[in-house]
Chain A
Amino acid sequence: MLKKVCGDLVLRLEAETKEVPDGKKEIVLAWAKNGLECFKGDKPVCWLGYNYPVEIPLALGYLPFYPELAPGMLAGFNLSSGLVEMAETRFFNMFCCTFHRCSLGAASKGIWPKPAAILGLSNICDGQVKLLNLFGDMFGVTPLILETPLDIGEKDVNYLERQLRDLIPPLEDSSGQKFTEEKLKETIRISNRTRKALLRIDELRKHSPSPYHGASAMNGLYVLVTQLWGMPQTLDLLDNLIREIEENETRGISNGEKFRLLLMVTTPTYKTEIYNLLEKKMKANFVVAELTNVVWEEIDEQNPFQSLARKLISHPMAGSMDKRVDWALTTARDFNVDGVIHFSHWGCRQTSGGVGVLRKRIEDAGIPFMNLDVDLVDPRSFSWGQVSTRLEGFIEMLDQRKEL
């Protein structure tokens, strides 16, 4: 099923982008090509948990595959609910994350490419570790889980740095390739250049009106940051995208932006009318999104393991809410947003678990905040009537604030 989705996407997007170049579509095309590559069996495939330091497996010749995130792509083709249902029947009830349940259904149905290695982090969510452990049993691969501390003191960084170094021998074994520092430096350079390009896009998005928004814009960056990170092809993709955004800005293309919004977590991965309502009807643009924002320092290629350890520990999505709140407040100010919309994914203890704290701290800072409880992968419980009413109400409130 995934192979077919990737194949269809490649055919369609290759034709479309040949006719009319489109930086956003080219990102999705790159994702689909990588997906197809994973099924070929020429290179070892490494399954990675969200936010894993992909630079290390890339340096060892692995193809990355993100089993927690791939369900989002299936949802875009209305293929997620059946898999979620299947996992419910065979494994679990309704109460855990559907990204995970869908992935479990997909893996047990043989939809995902086979892993040579499985890598995860302990500080994103409990579900990631548990899901990867179950996958390990299914495929006879021992998952290598990084124990990621909460604090960022010297001892904490050293503890994680040592684990990152310890990854090398087992990853060499399962890829059959020798690790070299030079190769790691190469992937880190790509990672740093990608980061710089994203920072440029962020700078452009700070402009008013924002020259980069909309469903495909958000999805394109989301796919690039979360699933293509560190791969050489991302550099050209981002260069094209930056050029496109700059041209759009020069040509004054705008939807008449009235409201600037910060998107926390992400919008549903299946098709909805959210962007049409917000951006076309209400002129409210998501000008920055939590999952695509650069939130880490440049990686030091001379000290890569320590630098990657710092990146992992300091990530706002990981650990305590303080980091996430600080990021949201700083970003809201930097991007001059009128309000924050947080999508609480049902079953996600990590993001929705902290929404009470987030609301309090953001509202205390005088920034309007709205939380929407939705399932981001499984459309069965999605109620457009309720969601649209809440969104309209929130934007009307922002409008009244502007008038005051």
Chain B
Amino acid sequence: MFEEELTELGKVGLDLSDCILSENDRTIGWLCSYVPEEIIHASGFYPMRIRGRGDPIGRADGLLHNNLCPFVRSVMDDAVEGSLEYLSGVVFANSCDAMRRLHDAWSVFLENDMIYSLDPPKGVNGPAIAYYTDQLRDFAKALNRDSPEEINNRSLEQSIEVFNDTRMLMEKVAVLASNNSLSGHTLFNIAQMATRCRREEFNQRLARFLDTYSDEEPVKRGVRILLAGCIIDRPDQVRLVEDVGAHVVANELCSGSRQFDKMVRDDIDPYEALAERYILKAPCARMTNLKDRIDYLVRLAEENNVDGVVYYIVKFCDHYMWDYPNVRVAFQEKGIPVLDVEGDYMKGSFGPLQTRIQAFVESLE
């Protein structure tokens, strides 16, 4: 799995080939960045983010309506084709209508030894954090019934430390991209691999990489772009943006840098700390604090001194689609050009968008 991505990383000196999760590892898949990987990790399972293969939808077509998000349909297709059978379990989140329907369909059409669904609040406030804290405790209890190791506060604190280490390291990687020392697709690729490797080993490799990586010569130049919006989970799609003269100096994707935002506190109850971090982290469009999300986007653009923003919307994603008018206005008010592109998630779907992105990049040169 992920051979192409691993080869690419090998070329820049980050060898992750023997720490990538395989079918021999006891792995639990997860589908939304509001699922706390730390709890899965503390249970002795490896958490792994599921991505769809992005092939044309086959058997899932009759199971999930074709006006649902193609990411979700692609994952369902993989599941019914059996390519996710090696997972010991799957954790869903009620992130959006489509994800909830994926859970519904999974429960009916697939063998379900261990599936669990979290209901992360959309509001950002104290009661929402308290409510999510309770859910996370229940999640840990449920996992404890089948897990190789019992989750307790100590094991959870250890896992939190491991995942905070990743966040710290990823921040350094993001700085390299922003400083032109690393390409945007490499930054994105590393972010993806973090969720698909045995995490302690990943941290070690990445720390070593950062120690030895030479950032003296810029490796990437071009129009500075912030890539924002819906899920993208193929580094080659980010590369397509860079192939037309752009440098993706930062991304605001849940599958990219956004998932490493904000450390989990180590001075309070670990469940509370996790709930707080996941509710307060850089918001997905599913959250109701649109103003905070827009502030975050604009700040990210300004801090990274971007020339323009490419805002990617996966077809049928209501959250990102409905937010876009406000997002566009916010960038326009700051004088930052923004281009919205809509894709259908599938492999190769970025190709046709490349022409528009190229025209946008040329207009910024």
Contacts and interface: CB of A to CB of B under 8 A. Distances in A.
A353 B73 CA distance: 11
B109 interface: yes
A122 interface: yes
Q: In which size bucket is the chain A interface?
A: 35 or more
A349 B316 contact: yes
B103 interface: yes
B65 A361 contact: no
Interface string A335-353: 0000000001011111011
A326 to B, nearest CB: 13
Contacts of A134: 322, 325-326
Contact of A356 (B65, B94, B323, B342): B65
B105 A95 contact: no
A173 interface: no
A357 B100 CA distance: 12
Interface in A18-70: none
A127 interface: yes
Interface stretch (B118-126, B207-215, B237-245, B351-359): B118-126
Contacts of A133: 288, 290, 322
Contacts of B123: 145, 147
B90 to A, nearest CB: 15
B321 A344 contact: no
Contacts of A280: none
A344 B94 contact: no
Contacts of A162: 127
B136 interface: no
Contacts of B100: 150, 319-320, 353
A122 B104 contact: no
A125 interface: yes
Contacts of A271: none
A137 B321 contact: no
A155 B94 contact: no
Given A134-B325, A352-B65, A354-B65, 4 more contacts: A133-B288, A147-B122, A353-B64, A356-B64
A318 B131 CA distance: 19
Nearest to A149: B119
B96 A126 contact: yes
A360 B80 CA distance: 15
A95 B322 CA distance: 11
Contact of B104 (A137, A147, A320, A352): A320
B194 to A, nearest CB: 28
Contacts of A137: 326
B288 A95 contact: no
B101 A353 contact: yes
B205 interface: no
Contacts of B65: 344, 349, 352-356
A155 B134 contact: yes
Nearest to A324: B104
A296 interface: no
Contact of A151 (B64, B119, B127): B119
A179 B109 CA distance: 49
B62 interface: yes
A321 B322 contact: no
B53 interface: no
Given A134-B325, A354-B101, A93 B108 contact: no
A91 B119 CA distance: 30
